[in-house]
Structure 1
């Protein structure tokens, strides 16, 4: 690319050496190179594209009532907050029901619905310490209405050796009547004929 002095020289124009600095000063203050010009054209094209896309984006809002849009946004935010609240309440209810069901089972309640109908469910739900309060309510209900719960029975003591003694001597109908299940089974396996005689 030719510089300005080459262009002027090609046109038979010469700038004296003493005037070159003033000439350059005026030239660069008022005129731009093609490269600078192209750069500025590129910036203008980019800004034009941005303006067009912004204008197109704004066209989507033509005819939209801003106040109505704000109202819809507020309504949607309220709906979301309500759904979140409902969701949290359902989770809390599920946790409470699980806790209550476990407590009824642990207390050996005969019928969970009958037991729960005797409790102040709302007070227990709103309790700060649900687990302890449910347990206390269950213990009190067990005292007041014991028929709703299975009795805590102690199993009979184990009688060691029952029905395992070997019979000595002859087996009679009387001794057969005193035999346990295992002894009778052993007699049947070892002496089926005698078993048939004494069992009648």
Structure 2
């Protein structure tokens, strides 16, 4: 492809040497070569096609409810977070149960009911924020220690046959003579209270039940 100087020379027109720079500058500012034109046209065609592609994609979203889509995303995000929280809670519970099981494996209880009650109470206490900084031994001792600071009887098998009578807290104070428990008092007890009563005084529990 010939440039403008070659074209003018072929036509018998000679550009004065002192005018070449001026003409070259003017030609560059006002005219483009075929190559430059083709490049510009190609870029323009590409932009046009890209715009049409984007418009086509946007047209595909015309019938979509954007607000509903946002709500679905929010719901899924919440469900995912809840699932993560639930899994973390389950993992924590499983770890606590394993720890309690290992700890209690070396303990001998008077019966399975007592062991189950203590185990559940220990798991519950370890899952509380108040358990931070405490050892499982400390929490266990707190569960089997009465208000008088002494270990409650009829919980661990070592206490059986000691001849000592269990001490009751005011929670077991009945309406009978001298504050003794009656069968009516027993009927009003919750399951947890009955378990505690059976743990502390199996004979009284048997009589009232």
Query: TM-score if structure 1 supplies the norm length?
Result: 0.60
Q: Which residue of 1 aligns with 2:115?
A: 115
Q: Which residue of 2 aligns with 1:21?
A: 21
Contact 2:109 2:115 in 1 (8 A): yes
Tell me, which stretches of 5 or more residues in structure 2 are unaligned? 160-209
Q: Which residue of 2 aligns with 1:47?
A: 47
Shift of 1:48: 3.0
Q: Which residue of 1 aligns with 2:152?
A: 144
Shift of 1:88: 0.9
Q: Pick the structure with greater CA Rg.
A: 1
Q: Which residue of 2 aligns with 1:131?
A: 136
Contact 1:104 1:138 in 2 (8 A): no
Q: CA separation of 1:140/1:51 partners in 2, compared to 1, >3 Å: closer, same or farther?
A: same
Contact 1:103 1:135 in 2 (8 A): no
- What SS is found at the alignment partner of 2:62? coil
Tell me, which stretches of 5 or more residues in structure 1 are unaligned? 152-200
**In structure 2, distance between residues paired with 1:111 and 1:32:** 101
Q: Which residue of 2 aligns with 1:57?
A: 57
Q: CA separation of 1:105/1:139 partners in 2, compared to 1, >3 Å: closer, same or farther?
A: farther
Q: CA separation of 1:137/1:107 partners in 2, compared to 1, >3 Å: closer, same or farther?
A: farther
- What SS is found at the alignment partner of 1:56? helix
Instruction: Please list, as runs of the form range in 1=range in 2, the aligned pairs for 1:1-200 lying within 5 A after superposition.
Output: 1-109=1-109, 114-118=114-118, 120=121, 121-126=123-128, 127-128=131-132, 129=134, 131-137=136-142, 140=145, 143-146=151-154, 148-149=156-157
**In structure 1, distance between residues paired with 2:113 and 2:36:** 87
Aligned length: 152
Shift of 1:5: 1.6
